[in-house]
Amino acid sequence: MKKVNASITAVGSYLPPKVLDNKTLETMVETTDEWITTRTGIKERRILEKGIGTSMMAIKAVKEILEKTQLDPKQVDMVIVATITPDMHVSATAAHVATEIGATNAFGYDLQAACSGFLYGLSVASSYIESGRYQKILLIGADKMSSIVDYSDRNTCIIFGDGAAAVLLEPNYEGLGLQDEYLRSDGIGREFLRIEAGGSQLPLSKDIIDKKKHFLFQDGKNVFKYAVSNMAEASYNIMQRNNLSNQDVDYLVPHQANKRIIDATAQRMGITDSKVLMNIENYGNTTAATIPLIFSDFEKKFKKGDNIILAAFGGGFTWGASFLKWSYNS
Ligand code: UT7
């Protein structure tokens, strides 16, 4: 029997039209366009209107795939939504997305691994496909970060944005698709990046909300330190493990949190800037959506057989790198 890999066979995305640029942020918190640009590489981000949940962006991203591929949604086996901003804590956003797109034969659930959500989701979805149990899985990275960001906190509001992107995963028998992964987590991270309230440990109350504990908190300097070393190390490890030289790597598709973290990773890998794909300037950090948004924006660049390294670091902490061989020409 031929070995089965899980490969991405289509991509789709959705970004809300409303733009929040650095100049506007200058009027909201003590910051400057120059500081944000030089420290993060971000110029603007997208913001979804109030009262609309993450699922709307996820549904639009998937609909692009369905239109492109003419796939009958009834053939979809499974829908995974990687997100830290589900529509509601209960029930699963993925179940709603599956129903709305007409995937009536699918089951769906949400996966929470913050900025590494897409990498972890790729691991889960690929395992189902490699096992032979399921053939068509929609993996969506979607986050409405504006729903958990405090727009008076310059440590977070300058970085994050809203967006969604989806991939269709299917079996590949030519040796293309996901080849290897190196995934890690370390619970020390919740000291530095968290939403303290709203969970089982500290349910919401008026007092808690007055203290703004329902918003995202980030100790940026410490997160940065861990992110730089771990994302670079994971990317380097996966190259070593698969005997990939810097010449062999065609593209790095990194999580878009801070251009300086991406640059450090590329440097550790010894790859040239032209191989490093970025759209952080336009969307900021969309958490689980950053990596599939790169696939969507740069899809035309990819050629069948390209060696691509994915890398992420985020809350938890969670982090890792994956190696995949692209499976189609578009
Ligand atoms: O994706 C999930 C994981 N998240 C990340 O990977 C984010 C990791 N962290 C970062 O990207 C960076 O730490 C930040 C962009 C959040 C902050 O950049 P930094 O270079 O680490 O800044 P800092 O916190 O060390 O602050 C440097 C200076 C400080 O002033 P002093 O003490 O040197 O006078 C801050 O008060 O910059 C000041 N500062 C700002 N100034 C203007 C901090 N934030 C801002 C701001 N605008 N928004």
Q: Within 6 Å (CB) of ligand 1, which residues are found?
A: 31, 35, 39-40, 115, 154-155, 158-159, 220-221, 223-224, 227, 257-258, 261, 285, 314
73: which DSSP letter? G
Q: Determine if the pTM surpasses 0.85.
A: yes
Write the CA distances from 125 to 47, 78, 273, integer angstroms.
29, 9, 30
pLDDT digits (tens, 9 = 90+) for 205-220: 999 999 999 999 999 9
CA 154 to ligand 1: nearest atom: 48
User: Per-residue pLDDT for the chain (330 aa), expressed as one digit of tens each?
Assistant: 679 999 999 999 999 999 999 999 999 999 999 999 999 999 999 999 999 999 999 999 999 999 999 999 999 999 999 999 999 999 999 999 999 999 999 999 999 999 999 999 999 999 999 999 999 999 999 999 999 999 999 999 999 999 999 999 999 999 999 999 999 999 999 999 999 999 999 999 999 999 999 999 999 999 999 999 999 999 999 999 999 999 999 999 999 999 999 999 999 999 999 999 999 999 999 999 999 999 999 999 999 999 999 999 999 999 999 999 999 999
Phi/psi of residue 73, nearest 5 degrees: -60, -20
Q: Could you tell me if 227 and 257 are in contact, meaning their C-beta atoms sit under 8 angstroms apart?
A: yes
Q: Could you tell me if 103 and 68 are in contact, meaning their C-beta atoms sit under 8 angstroms apart?
A: no
- Order the strands of the 107-111 sheet from edge to edge: 5-14, 162-172, 137-144, 78-82, 107-111
- Of the residues 34, 160, 190, 224, which should be mutated to test ligand 1's pocket, given the most ligand atoms within 8 Å of the CB? 224
Dist. CA 295–CA 246, nearest whole Å: 21
Q: What spacing in Å lies between the alpha carbon of 186 and ligand 1's midpoint?
A: 22
Q: What spacing in Å lies between the alpha carbon of 35 and ligand 1's midpoint?
A: 9
In the chain, the domains with their CATH numbers are 5-175 (3.40.47.10), 179-278+287-325 (3.40.47.10)
Q: Among 194, 220, 226, 218, which Cα is nearest to 313's?
A: 226
How many other CB atoms sit within 10 Å of the CB of residue 53?
18
Ligand 1, atom 13, lies closest to the CA of 220
Which residues are identified as catalytic?
Answer: 115, 255, 285
Dist. CA 189–CA 182, nearest whole Å: 18
In single-letter form, the type of residue at position 205 comes to S
CA 287 to ligand 1: nearest atom: 1
Q: What spacing in Å lies between the alpha carbon of 220 and ligand 1's midpoint?
A: 6
Q: What spacing in Å lies between the alpha carbon of 259 and ligand 1's midpoint?
A: 13
Tokens standing for 227? 């992110």
Dist. CA 295–CA 68, nearest whole Å: 15
